[in-house]
A and B are shown apart, each in its own frame.
Chain A
Amino acid sequence: MMVVVIDFHLARASGVPTYQQIVNQVKHSLRLGVLKPGDRLPTAKEVVSRLAINPNTVLKAYRELERDGLVEARPGLGTFVRRSLGSGSVTDKANLSRDLTEWVHAARKAGLDWEDVEALITSVVTNSMRKEVG
């Protein structure tokens, strides 16, 4: 029996379709390194026996992840992670995380609350990413 490395959870009132939530959670775990290539995703049965959702929803989410090339289904064995997500080295990420933490402290000192911070980050990220693409 393989160890299940990831557990899904649902935000029922979020308005995000359930299969999309599963896709997002897998991607999130890939980015954070919780899921690594070679890891097995829980089977549809394992997921629904915890979450009381339709197994087809889980299969749909896995199909979408497969289409993105993130996982692969090995018949009779399960669905396995093919590659990781996210770019940049581990040290770079650690440095950036430290810088951002300092920035958030500064923002708190300036009197910004959670929503102010979130709005600011979103707008900065959107603007700078758009410039890069454009």
Chain B
Amino acid sequence: MKTGTSRPSTALETAGLGHRYRQTWALRDCALHIPAGRVAALVGPNGAGKSTLLHIVVGLLTPTTGNVDVLGEPVGQQAAALSRVAFMAQDKPLYEGFTVADILRFGRHLNPQWDNGLAENRLNALGIALKSKVGKLSGGQQAQVALTAAIAKRPHLIVLDEPLANLDPLARNEVMRSLMTEVAETEITVLLSSHVVSDLEDTCDWLILLNGGRVQLCGDIEELLSSHRMISGPVELADRLLEEVQVIDQSRTARQLTCVARIQTSEPVLHPDWSISAVNLEQLVLAYLRRPNVGVLPHPNLASA
């Protein structure tokens, strides 16, 4: 279902977002955005505040500071705001005593834009019988039922907290396939969290790196990858290198320096002794996670990407 109406280009935007549990800030001063139609990965170590951020975005938590807009409208506990965002929580909680049909009926009763035909077709295609009890389904099937319920709500933004955790490789692939099919069909914006970066490489095109409750990176994955390089070479030349590029993370031996660096031009001209190669998403993420104090402010021009 392609909508002809023009939408604001930013699906999700937060400003000055913070959340405090008693004395501890789980999330602090978060400014991030996701352009509409993107599949955004929220990455960070355990305890980085990923779930807190997602719970605020879906309206389950009220932030201590700052605000969240989905398509230009604030999120929160109003029916209209809730209907714009769908959520699949970690561990995909569903009522285990319900049948799959009950879950669909639950969704139909609680969501004005519920698309029951879509839900039934999806489950039918996945071979999940409406009569089966949710508690008797496999983990992968439960994830598919939960995903179906989220998609049938017809949201603009779908938020998934660790959607692939506790799933076997086949189920991971199937869940991702059906999610990507949905993205191709409806131009929905996706925000999913994961601490396994390799799961995200082919599916996500936007990266939000959260570390210690703060946003370390937020931007288009391709642009991030093209603006970083893996550089290695003789350690004596290290000082000169540091003048020319912004080193994110480095490791040194007696003779060699290896680092992930942020570069300004697409092909930096460095001393010929340096060997320069591209970084992949995992290397990039690891480099930043190891250096929590290195942050790159989001480029304003990336918003229109």
| Whether chain A touches chain B in the assembled complex (some CB pair under 8 Å) | yes
Q: Is B280 an interface residue when CB atoms closer than 8 A count as contact?
A: yes
A16, chain B: closest CB distance, angstroms: 11
Closest chain-B Cβ to A110's Cβ sits at a distance in Å of 35
B203 and A53 within 8 A (CB): yes
Please indicate the chain B residues that have their CB under 8 angstroms from the CB of A48 in the complex.
Answer: 177, 180-181, 183-184
Interface size class of B (residues with CB under 8 A): 10 to 19
Q: Smallest CB–CB gap between A24 and chain B, Å?
A: 16
Of all chain A residues, the one with the shortest Cβ separation from B178 is: A49
Q: Hey, which chain A residues are within 8 Å of B202, CB to CB?
A: 10, 12, 18, 51-54, 57
Residue of A nearest to B204 (CB): A54
Cβ-based interface call for B243 (8 A): no
For residue A54, which residues in chain B have a CB less than 8 angstroms away from its CB? 39, 180, 183, 202-205
Are B280's CB and A55's CB within 8 A? Answer: no
CA distance in complex: A44, B202 (Å): 14
A55 adjacent to B183 (CB under 8 Å): yes
Q: Which chain A residue shows the least CB distance to B183?
A: A55
Quick one: closest A residue to B37, CB to CB?
Answer: A56
Q: How far is the CA of A12 from the CA of B173 in the complex (A)?
A: 13
Residues of chain B within 8 A (CB-CB) of A56 are: 37-39, 205
Tell me, yes or no, whether B185 is within 8 Å of chain A by CB.
yes
| Distance (whole angstroms) from the CB of A119 to the closest CB of chain B | 22
Residues of A within 8 A of B (CB-CB), count: 18
Which residues of B149-180 are within 8 A (CB) of A?
173, 176-178, 180
A58 to B184 alpha-carbon distance, docked (Å) = 10
How far is B203's CA from A10's CA once the two chains are assembled, in angstroms?
13
Which chain A residues lie closer than 8 Å to B280 at the CB level?
15
Which listed residue, A10, A18, A45, touches B184 by the CB 8 Å rule? A45
- Asked whether A50 and B177 contact (CB < 8 A) given A10-B202, A18-B202, the answer is yes
Contacts of A57 in B (CB 8 A): 202, 205
Query: Which residues in chain B, 1-39, are within 8 Å of chain A measured between CB atoms?
Result: 37-39
Report chain B residues within 8 Å CB of A15.
278, 280
Choose among A10, A44, A55 the residue with the greatest number of B CB atoms under 10 Å from its CB: A55
Partner of A51 from the list B38, B177, B185 (CB cut-off 8 Å) is B177
| Chain A 16-27 interface 0/1 with B at a Cβ cutoff of 8 Å (1 = within) | 001000000000
> Is the beta-carbon distance between A52 and B177 smaller than 8 angstroms?
yes
Write the nearest CB–CB distance from B197 to chain A, whole angstroms: 13
A14 to B2, CA, bound (A): 34
B198: nearest chain-A partner, CB-CB: A12
Q: Are B177 and A44 in contact (CB under 8 A)?
A: no
CB distance from A9 to the nearest CB of B (A): 13
Complex CA gap A99/B278 in Å reads: 39
Nearest-Cβ distance from residue B118 to partner chain A, whole angstroms: 14
* Residues 56-72 of A at the B interface (beta carbon under 8 Å): 56-58
Q: Please, which residues of chain B bring their CB within 8 A of the CB of A50?
A: 177
Q: Is the CB of A44 within 8 A of B184?
A: yes
A58 and B39 CA atoms in complex are apart in Å by 14
> Contacts of A49 on B, CB cut-off 8 Å?
177-178, 180-181, 184
Min CB–CB distance A62 → chain B (angstroms): 12
Nearest CB of A to B110, in Å:
28
A-B contact pairs, 21 of them (CB 8 A): A10-B202, A12-B202, A15-B278, A18-B202, A48-B181, A49-B177, A49-B181, A52-B173, A52-B176, A52-B177, A52-B203, A53-B180, A53-B202, A54-B39, A54-B183, A54-B202, A54-B203, A54-B205, A55-B180, A55-B183, A57-B202
9 shortest interchain CB distances as A-B pairs: A55-B184, A48-B180, A52-B176, A45-B184, A49-B181, A52-B177, A53-B202, A44-B184, A48-B184
Given contacts A48-B181, A52-B180, A53-B202, 6 further A-B contacts (CB under 8 A): A12-B201, A45-B181, A48-B183, A53-B180, A54-B202, A57-B202
